[in-house]
């Protein structure tokens, strides 16, 4: 945990990594608490039908031990890849824990993936097992003959319709298996999980992480939630546990600390339902991606309609701005802390209202324990105000081991001992890092280099704008001009007059060179499955 301190400088100066040589995620997040405090509440799950299930740490240990024994009886051994194609659910957490305790490699898979996405990932990692539900099993059945290494498909909901050909009942196997299991003794550097990148450029790459990745996440989780954990903390995120933001920013760190996790699968995210869930289960801490925040921002009078008391809200994935931060203070009574990272090296920069003043539009300072800098293409550190590449120095406990079966891509990720994120940014005089944009998101217009985030934040400050995305499009005079794609609030009709009003809104609040010279009204924005805007798709529209 972070040391006791009342300032960022003190946190940074006092922090020391304590990563043991031998370490296992499953033992840490489950067995540790099952021995210390077996009845401690680990998970509250709200089912789709509204029913609620509670799981103690002793429950998680019993179930994960039985699943580990059941998998071993089916020929699953250390090093095998276990695909987990499930939404937020108790079986998802149990399968992760069992895989880690077996020394297997978990491969979380987003439940909304189509068959092509699944075929690529399962084939690339050579998964031996897939744990899924009826929806996922139907997809796997279409591609199973093209996955020669896949030997076992377990379904968690067989009672809903009976197991299909080649499927087995997860619950039947677990219920019949012995309860005693001795976890594999794993090194902290032993492989534990493959998380595939979102694939915004080229085919997704499988980022292979070691067991130590959880320990590497802890300082970032703690600082982004205003020195988590504290008495009474209870955490939830709508982010799917198939992504690093749901799995390693929320589920596993909370279980490490013995903090109760609330889980629920929304069929489709709904801002009103999110507020209702927070109030119903006494959620005190939440990771809310920017897209979720923007959808919740459209809910009218939440404080008057629900009784809730938040202690911390963290967000990451897209830069927030003054508009969302002000709304967050009014709505939650806290300053939303922004954090930054990526699948390969996550939670490395964060704000923390408890120990440092927030700066709207600037994501924060390096999390204690991580050497994060802005560098040039030769690997030289740049000073304040110089635009360059955001990079992390190795070794670092949170950093990935390699891309699965892709040594060329692994090598290309580094400049000497710097892992290069692919994002551009700059330091300010106080050591905060401002995210400017992905390498290909930065707009070059009339000699200016413009990041999209600040303009997008300004745009959503206009009362007619619900969501906005900004890209650069070619222009013979200025190289590129700024173009805005805008989703309007319900009931607002697009018009040339409204476009001009929105342009003036930006021009008077930011700068003349930053206002969108082109505006297109759209019904929706293209998003990755993690809720990030796919700007390259918008650029292709011109």
- Output the pLDDT for position 440: 63
Last residue of a domain, one of 210, 230, 247: 210
Last residue of a domain, one of 161, 183, 210: 210
381 belongs to a structural domain: no
Give residue-wise pLDDT tens across range 435-446: 887 666 768 776
Most confident of the ranges 57-71, 354-368, 418-432: 57-71
198 belongs to a structural domain: yes
470 belongs to a structural domain: yes
Q: Is the pLDDT of residue 323 over 90?
A: no
Which region among 63-72, 225-234, 523-532 has the lowest average model confidence (pLDDT)? 523-532
Last residue of a domain, one of 210, 241, 276: 210
Q: Is the pLDDT of residue 477 over 80?
A: no
Provide the percentage of residues in the chain whose pLDDT is more than 90.
77
Residue 268: HSE in the Cβ half-sphere, 13 Å Cα cutoff = 1
146 belongs to a structural domain: yes
Question: Could you tell me the pLDDT band of residue 428, with boundaries at 50, 70 and 90?
Answer: very high
- List, as one string, the DSSP characters of 443-479: EEETTEEE-HHHHHHHHHTSTTEEEEEEEEEEETTTE
Beta-bridge mates of residue 364: 433
Q: What is the pTM of this model?
A: 0.84
Which is higher by pLDDT, 423 or 498? 498
- Cα→Cα distances 438→435, 474, 516, Å: 9, 18, 19
Which region among 359-373, 445-459, 492-506, 509-523 has the lowest average model confidence (pLDDT)? 445-459
Tokens of 16: 């020391």
Give residue-wise pLDDT tens across range 243-257: 999 999 999 999 999
CATH code, 450: 3.30.300.30
Which region among 2-6, 98-102, 111-115 has the lowest average model confidence (pLDDT)? 111-115
- Output the pLDDT for position 289: 87
512 belongs to a structural domain: yes
Q: Is the pLDDT of residue 201 over 60?
A: no
- Output the pLDDT for position 200: 46
- In terms of residue numbers, what domain contains 506? 440-541
414 belongs to a structural domain: no
The mean pLDDT of 205-232, rounded to a whole number, is 97
Domain count of the chain? 2
CATH code, 72: 3.40.50.980
Of all residues in the chain, what percent are helix, strand and coil, respectively (each to 5)? 35, 25, 40
416 belongs to a structural domain: no
135 belongs to a structural domain: yes
- Output the pLDDT for position 161: 56
């Amino acid at each position: 945990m972070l040391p006791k301190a009342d300032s960022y400088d003190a946190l940074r100066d006092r922090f020391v990594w304590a990563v043991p040589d031998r370490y296992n995620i499953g033992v840490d997040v489950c067995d540790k608490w099952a021995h210390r405090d077996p009845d401690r509440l680990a998970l509250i799950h709200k089912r789709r039908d509204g029913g609620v299930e509670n799981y103690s740490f002793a429950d998680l240990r019993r179930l994960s031990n039985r699943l580990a024994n059941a998998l071993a009886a089916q020929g699953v051994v250390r090093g095998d890849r276990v695909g987990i194609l499930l939404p937020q659910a108790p079986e998802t957490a149990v399968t992760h824990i069992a895989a880690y305790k077996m020394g297997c490699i978990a491969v979380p898979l987003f439940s909304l993936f189509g068959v092509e996405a699944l075929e690529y990932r399962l084939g690339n990692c050579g998964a031996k097992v897939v744990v899924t539900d009826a929806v996922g099993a139907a997809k796997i059945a279409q591609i199973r003959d093209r996955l020669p290494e896949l030997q076992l498909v377990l379904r968690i909901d067989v009672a809903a319709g009976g197991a299909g050909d080649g499927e087995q009942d997860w619950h039947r196997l677990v219920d019949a298996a012995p309860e005693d299991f001795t976890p594999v003794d794993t090194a902290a550097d032993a492989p534990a999980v493959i998380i595939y990148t979102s694939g915004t450029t080229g085919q997704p790459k499988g980022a292979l992480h070691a067991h130590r990745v959880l320990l590497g996440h802890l300082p970032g989780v703690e600082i982004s939630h205003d020195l988590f954990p504290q008495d009474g903390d209870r955490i939830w995120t709508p982010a799917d546990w198939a992504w690093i933001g749901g799995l390693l920013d929320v589920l596993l760190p909370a279980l490490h600390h013995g903090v109760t996790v609330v889980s629920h699968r929304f069929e489709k995210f709904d801002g009103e339902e999110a507020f209702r869930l927070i109030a119903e289960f006494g959620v005190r801490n939440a990771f809310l991606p920017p897209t979720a925040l923007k959808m919740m921002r459209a809910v009218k009078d939440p404080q008057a309609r629900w009784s809730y008391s938040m202690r911390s809200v963290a967000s990451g994935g897209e830069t927030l701005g003054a508009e969302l931060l002000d709304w967050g203070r009014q709505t939650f009574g806290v300053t939303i802390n922004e954090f930054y990272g990526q699948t390969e090296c996550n939670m490395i920069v964060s704000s923390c209202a408890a120990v440092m003043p927030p700066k709207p539009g600037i994501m924060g300072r390096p999390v204690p324990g991580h050497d994060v800098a802005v560098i040039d293409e030769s690997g030289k550190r740049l000073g304040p105000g110089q635009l360059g590449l955001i990079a992390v120095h190795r070794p670092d406990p949170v950093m990935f081991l390699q891309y699965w079966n892709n040594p060329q891509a692994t090598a290309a990720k580094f400049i000497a001992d710097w892992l290069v994120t692919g994002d551009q940014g700059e330091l300010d005089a106080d050591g905060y890092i401002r995210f400017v944009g992905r390498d290909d998101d930065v707009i070059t217009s009339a000699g200016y280099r413009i990041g999209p985030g600040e303009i997008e934040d300004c745009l959503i400050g206009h009362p007619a704008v619900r969501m906005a995305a900004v890209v650069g499009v070619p222009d013979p005079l200025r190289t590129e001009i700024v173009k805005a794609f805008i989703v309007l609030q319900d009931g607002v009709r697009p018009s040339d007059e409204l476009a001009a009003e929105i342009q003036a809104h930006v021009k008077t609040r930011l700068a003349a060179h930053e206002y969108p010279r082109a505006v297109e009204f759209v019904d929706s924005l293209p998003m990755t499955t993690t809720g990030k805007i796919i700007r390259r798709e918008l650029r292709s529209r011109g």
